[in-house]
């Protein structure tokens, strides 16, 4: 894929910044979450969450979770309850308004569940190897048990996707796992659609081709890479290209150190 990095980045920042202030119903697809996990989360966080699946279903007790493109924080706060006090959750997002929303809700969630195990850091999800203020990588090597994201990888410029994938592999510990909900398509998206800022920021024209998405993680060394959820009917169809919501999972070789 070839596209305009500046136009895409600006479009995503502007659209999700506005969506942090007021809910936008057109972003991604409606998803139902287990209501028991939503009780502890402020309503404004729930209302301003945008996704196309539920990757939190693949998180376990004691996991160290990395949520790429954490947005309002809903998925991270669900994971906080699933992993328990023994686990931890780190959300990464570069949108200022979304970070303000998630960080402002952290105290209320901690009070509701009885412990604090979530942090939200400012950064680009493809640049987890970028230095933090102390000079260390934003996320350390082999420090994560499961990487999840929800309708975010499609927003990364194609020129940065190799770095994104490399960093996902780098931060995972042996037997580390992925649970990625995203939009996939049945054929390549032409350049003129990729260059449409509205389509890009709407999680459409940056969609990964279905087979290539699987192959990308297989080439990183993940095993049992597969789609565990995939919409039967297309979410959108544009110029003969069918777009689907799907959740991909996989695991690295090794022995898990989880507590449960």
**pLDDT score of 8:** 55
% of the chain beyond a pLDDT of 70: 87
Using CA atoms, how far residue 128 sits from 85, 132, 250, in Å, is 25, 9, 20
**pLDDT digits over 28-47, tens only?**
666 778 999 999 999 999 98
* Look-up of token digits 């901690």: 110
Closest by alpha carbon to 251, among 213, 222, 209?
222
**pLDDT score of 11:** 45
For the cut 70, the answer to whether the pLDDT of residue 119 exceeds it is yes
For the cut 70, the answer to whether the pLDDT of residue 207 exceeds it is yes
Using CA atoms, how far residue 23 sits from 28, 32, 234, in Å, is 12, 16, 23
**pLDDT digits over 141-192, tens only?**
999 999 999 999 999 988 999 999 999 999 999 999 999 999 999 999 999 9
> What's the rounded Cα separation, in Å, for the pair 161 and 225?
18
Beta strands (DSSP E) in 155-211 are 172-185, 208-209
C-alpha torsion sign, points 122, 52, 34, 259 = negative
Angle between helices 5-21 and 96-113 (to 10 degrees): 40
3-class state of residue 111 by DSSP: helix
CB 121 within 8 A of CB 55: no
pLDDT band at 133 (very low <50, low <70, confident <90, very high): confident
Task: Provide the token pair at 161.
Answer: 């996707």
Angle at 201 between CA 195 and CA 207, to 5 degrees: 75
Task: Provide the token pair at 215.
Answer: 């192959």
CB atoms within 10 A of CB 19: 23
CB 98 within 8 A of CB 12: no
Q: Can you tell me the mean pLDDT for 81-95?
A: 97
Q: Which residue has the higher pLDDT, 260 or 124?
A: 124
Closest by alpha carbon to 174, among 128, 138, 143?
143
> What's the rounded Cα separation, in Å, for the pair 5 and 95?
16
> What's the rounded Cα separation, in Å, for the pair 91 and 87?
14
**pLDDT score of 143:** 98
Task: Provide the token pair at 106.
Answer: 């952290």
**pLDDT score of 7:** 58
For the cut 60, the answer to whether the pLDDT of residue 64 exceeds it is yes
């Amino acid at each position: 894929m070839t596209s305009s990095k500046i136009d895409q980045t600006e479009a995503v920042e502007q659209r999700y910044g506005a969506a942090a202030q007021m809910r936008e119903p057109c972003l991604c697809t409606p998803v139902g979450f287990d209501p028991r996990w939503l009780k502890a989360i402020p309503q404004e966080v729930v209302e301003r969450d945008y996704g196309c699946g539920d990757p939190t279903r693949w998180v376990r007790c004691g996991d160290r979770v990395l949520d790429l493109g954490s947005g309002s924080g809903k998925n991270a706060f669900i994971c906080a309850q699933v992993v328990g006090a023994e686990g931890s959750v780190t959300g990464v997002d570069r949108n200022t308004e979304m970070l303000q929303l998630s960080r402002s809700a952290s105290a209320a969630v901690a009070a509701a569940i009885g412990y604090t195990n979530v942090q939200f850091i400012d950064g680009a999800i493809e640049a987890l190897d970028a230095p933090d203020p102390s000079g260390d990588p934003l996320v350390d090597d082999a420090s994560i048990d499961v990487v999840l994201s929800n309708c975010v990888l499609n927003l990364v410029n194609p020129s940065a996707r190799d770095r994104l994938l490399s960093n996902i592999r780098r931060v995972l510990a042996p037997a580390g796992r992925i649970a990625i909900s995203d939009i996939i398509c049945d054929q390549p998206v032409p350049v003129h659609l990729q260059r449409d800022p509205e389509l890009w920021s709407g999680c459409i024209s940056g969609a990964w081709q279905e087979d290539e998405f699987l192959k990308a993680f297989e080439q990183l060394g993940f095993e049992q890479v597969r789609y565990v959820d995939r919409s039967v009917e297309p979410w959108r169809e544009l110029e003969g290209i069918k777009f689907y919501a799907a959740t991909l999972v996989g695991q690295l070789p090794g022995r898990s150190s989880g507590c449960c």
